[in-house]
Amino acid sequence: MKRVITYGTFDLLHYGHINLLRRAKQLGDYLIVVVSSDEFNWNEKHKKCYFTYEQRKALVEAVRYVDLVIPETSWDQKRSDMHEYHIDTFVMGDDWIGKFDFLEDEGVEVVYLPRTPEISSSQIKEDLNMQNK
Ligand code: C2G
């Protein structure tokens, strides 16, 4: 059983996220999604999420490609996650290209997939703000 993992905030879940999750699942048989906690988002990514971690977790869990959702609480958990969850392939959108190549040292394949253009959680917020003006 080939095990794939990916990380993200997944706020305001949209078709760009779904495109990523579908392609990640196509790389294996079991997909683990590590969703950033509220504290991690605020302290480390300076992102204020619209949905809480629990709400974002429930949305991602509802996606047919996803087999398990766990919390991301630190930038440093990736190395141990690869071993704890017996990961074969690590996947991220190519806005992160090169940033996680070090995980190859842990014996995993590192794959960067093209992002879906034009859509992002921040773009959605911006567009909604404009409409309310
Ligand atoms: N994504 C995508 N296309 C978009 C938007 C996002 O392919 N239009 C991908 C991103 O490249 C990422 C995943 O969807 O692989 C989740 O995106 P975010 O929720 O923005 O996650 P991010 O803030 O990049 O957090 O430790 C890694 C971080 O947790 C990644």
Distance 132 CA to ligand 1 centre (A): 26
Query: For 30-45, what is the mean pLDDT?
Result: 97
Catalytic residue numbers, as ranges: 45, 47
Q: Considering only residues 126 and 132, tell me which one the structure prediction assigns the higher pLDDT.
A: 126
Q: Residue 130 corresponds to which tokens in the numbers above?
A: 């404009």
- Pocket lining: 15 vs ligand 1, CB cutoff 6 Å: no
DSSP the chain: --EEEEEE--TT--HHHHHHHHHHHTTSSEEEEEEEPHHHHHHHS----SS-HHHHHHHHHTSTT-SEEEEE--GGGHHHHHHHTT-SEEEEEGGGTTTTGGGGGGT-EEEEEPPPTT--HHHHHHHHHHHT-
Q: Does 131 score more than 90 pLDDT?
A: no
Regarding the beta carbon of 17 and ligand 1, being less than 6 Å apart is answered yes
Q: What percent of the chain has pLDDT over 70?
A: 100
CA of 6 to the centre of ligand 1 (A): 9
Q: How confident is the model over 50-77, as pLDDT tens digits?
A: 999 999 999 999 999 999 999 999 999 9
pTM score, whole prediction = 0.97
Q: Check pLDDT > 80 for residue 3.
A: yes
What's the rounded Cα separation, in Å, for the pair 61 and 100? 24
Q: Distance (Å, rounded) from C-alpha 4 to C-alpha 66? A: 10
